[in-house]
Amino acid sequence: MIVRAKPWIVDHPFFAFLLINFALTWSLWLLMPAPSPGEIPVQFLAGSFGPALAAMLVSGVIDPKTVSCPRSKRWMAFGLILVAGAGVIWLSRAVLFAGDYGMVWIATAAMAVVLAALVVSMRYASNEGIRRLLGSILDWRKPLGWYALVFLLIPATYGVSILSFEPLTGRTLPPMPYQGPIGDLPVAILAAFALRLFFGGANEEPGWRGFAIPQLQKSHSPLMASIIVALFWGLWHLPLHLNGVYSSGWMGLAQVAARMIMGIPFSILMTWVFNRSGGSLLLVMLLHATNNTTPQFLLPGFIEQLLMWLAAAIVMVRAKMWRKPGIMPGDALPSRVGVDLAEG
């Protein structure tokens, strides 16, 4: 089937990515049972690998050249991520969640762990297209300024929102989302962040930023590419509003529409980080994980979204993101972060 579809995939890589991505993710999210109260929605964890798997498949088809790579590296990476992923699931279950974990939960959690190990280990695949796609997923050698940015930007917007709540509204600040013991807070933050880094958001990035953004920027500006990805990214979550993981009914559909629009500023920021860092998958994965972890501990829902739009507007103007880039992220060499941030 893939062989017969290869000419169409080569001519329409972005649409092939969308088709495969939605098919993989939606089949898991719609066919698997909704979680019982208190359980991790493990079908979400496994299904969220759709973008990465689709990007790997399409990349392998459009660039099938084979290269030499010791299999030992691939198996070593697979084993390390397998152990780490299993540890993340155990830590998350022990610290963040309660409930009766049956065989469905165990099987789908195991599936998610194996998929995480597969994606990372394919950094050492013999297929040139897949290696190019995942080349920066383990590249941590970036200036510290980038790590400060991806770890602090989102919490800073929430912090400003929290500090502004009482002066702007005249009302008492509601309780924070995290209500556990203060002594358990560091472990809870670590568990929540690791869960989202391995399975709950960051694992999507080889698809959305690693593949879709470079493909779209061949014919669109970074700004337009960001908007297109944000719209499909929001729509991609639709099954979670149909199977009970998120709000359902008319409220769920409204939330999908809101997600498509409100995801635009974050998509712009993610594209900016990806482009300016020379196409770093690791940095956008860390930023995505931080974005998904923060509202579990800091109060959301006030002005942090406005601050996100402001931050997106600033980088959009400074980087002139309405212009088509002259160099694709995969071809750009990482530059000093001080220069990157100064120039937008």
Task: Report the pLDDT averaged over residues 305-325.
Answer: 94
Q: Is the pLDDT of residue 247 over 80?
A: no
Q: Is the pLDDT of residue 138 over 50?
A: yes
pLDDT digits (tens, 9 = 90+) for 61-72: 999 999 888 889
pLDDT bin (cut points 50, 70, 90) of residue 333 is very low
**CA–CA dist 245, 108 (Å, integer):** 15
Task: Report the pLDDT averaged over residues 300-311.
Answer: 90
Q: Is the pLDDT of residue 40 over 70?
A: no
Task: Report the pLDDT averaged over residues 291-313.
Answer: 92
Q: Is the pLDDT of residue 248 over 80?
A: no
**pLDDT score recorded for residue 33:** 63
Question: Which pTM was predicted?
Answer: 0.91
**pLDDT score recorded for residue 96:** 67
Q: Is the pLDDT of residue 202 over 90?
A: yes
pLDDT digits (tens, 9 = 90+) for 89-133: 888 876 666 555 677 778 888 999 999 999 999 999 999 999 999
Count structural domains, the chain: 1
Mean pLDDT of all residues in the chain? 87
Assign 206 to helix, strand or coil.
Answer: helix
Backbone angles phi, psi at 54, to 5 degrees: -65, -45
**Closest of 206, 339, 190 to residue 282, by C-alpha:** 206
Three-state secondary structure readout of 228-267: HHHHHHHHHCHHHHHCCCCCCHHHHHHHHHHHHHHHHHHH
Helices marked H in the chain: 2-11, 13-31, 42-47, 50-62, 71-95, 103-121, 128-133, 144-169, 185-198, 205-207, 213-216, 222-236, 238-242, 249-276, 281-293, 304-318, 337-343
Domain span at residue 94 reads 2-343
**CA–CA dist 182, 184 (Å, integer):** 5
Please calculate the CA angle 113-117-123 and round it to the nearest 5 degrees.
155
**pLDDT score recorded for residue 341:** 37
**pLDDT score recorded for residue 301:** 76
For the ranges 51-65, 140-154, 291-305, which has the lowest average pLDDT?
Answer: 291-305
Task: Report the pLDDT averaged over residues 219-242.
Answer: 94
Helices marked H in 32-70: 42-47, 50-62
Q: Is the pLDDT of residue 37 over 70?
A: no
**pLDDT higher at 318 or 168:** 318
Q: Is the pLDDT of residue 152 over 70?
A: yes
**CA–CA dist 222, 133 (Å, integer):** 18
**Closest of 126, 128, 124 to residue 68, by C-alpha:** 126
Q: Is the pLDDT of residue 336 over 70?
A: no
Q: CA-CA distances (angstroms) from residue 273 to 151, 161, 293, 309? A: 12, 23, 19, 15
**pLDDT score recorded for residue 300:** 84
Question: What end-to-end distance do the CA atoms of the chain give, in Å?
Answer: 44
**pLDDT score recorded for residue 30:** 84
